[in-house]
Amino acid sequence: MTDHYTYRVTWSGEDDEYVGLCAEFPSLSWLALTPDEAFSGIRRLVSESLAALAADGEAAPQPLADQPYSGRFMVSVPPEVHRALARQAAEAGISLNRLVSARLANDTC
């Protein structure tokens, strides 16, 4: 199986080691002394988990990279936040959607 899963390696001060993580398998982690070892370890652990799931006839999680995204999601905010954002968008001469998209992307308008 092609490995399209989402990996991250970060430092764990608590463990005094690097920890390898996989977003699609949140219960798995791999500790190691170097980032490369943590990355290799978590990839190996995910591979073993995929083999075990297949052997048990269970479905593997779909990689985030392979999932379709529409680019749309709904967010509820307090009315006063909605009003303030709408005012800022109007003052900037842009749509509320553009303002919020830019803020989420850390862009400036």
Q: What is the pLDDT of residue 63?
A: 96
Residue with tokens 């943590």: 38
Q: Are residues 20 and 61 in the same domain?
A: yes
Ramachandran angles phi, psi of 11, nearest 5°: -85, 135
pLDDT digits (tens, 9 = 90+) for 3-42: 899 999 999 999 999 999 999 999 999 999 999 999 999 9
Burial track 62-91 (b if 16+ CB lie within 10 A, e otherwise): ebeeeeeeeeeeeeeeeeeeeeeeeeebee
**pTM of the complete model beyond 0.75:** no
User: Binning pLDDT at 50, 70 and 90, where does residue 55 land?
Assistant: very high
User: Binning pLDDT at 50, 70 and 90, where does residue 2 land?
Assistant: low
Q: Are residues 12 and 55 in the same domain?
A: yes
Domains identified in the chain, total number: 2
Q: Are residues 34 and 75 in the same domain?
A: no
Q: Are residues 77 and 60 in the same domain?
A: no
pLDDT at 89 over 80: yes
Q: State the Cα–Cα distance between residues 71 and 103, nearest whole angstrom.
A: 15
Can you give the residue range of the structural domain that contains 79?
A: 69-104
Q: Is residue 109 part of a domain?
A: no
pLDDT at 109 over 70: no
Q: What is the pLDDT of residue 10?
A: 98
Q: What is the pLDDT of residue 106?
A: 82
Q: State the Cα–Cα distance between residues 20 and 88, nearest whole angstrom.
A: 41
Q: What is the pLDDT of residue 59?
A: 96
| 105 beta partners | none
Q: Which amino acid is residue 29, in one-letter code?
A: S
Q: Is residue 1 part of a domain?
A: no
The mean pLDDT of the chain is 94
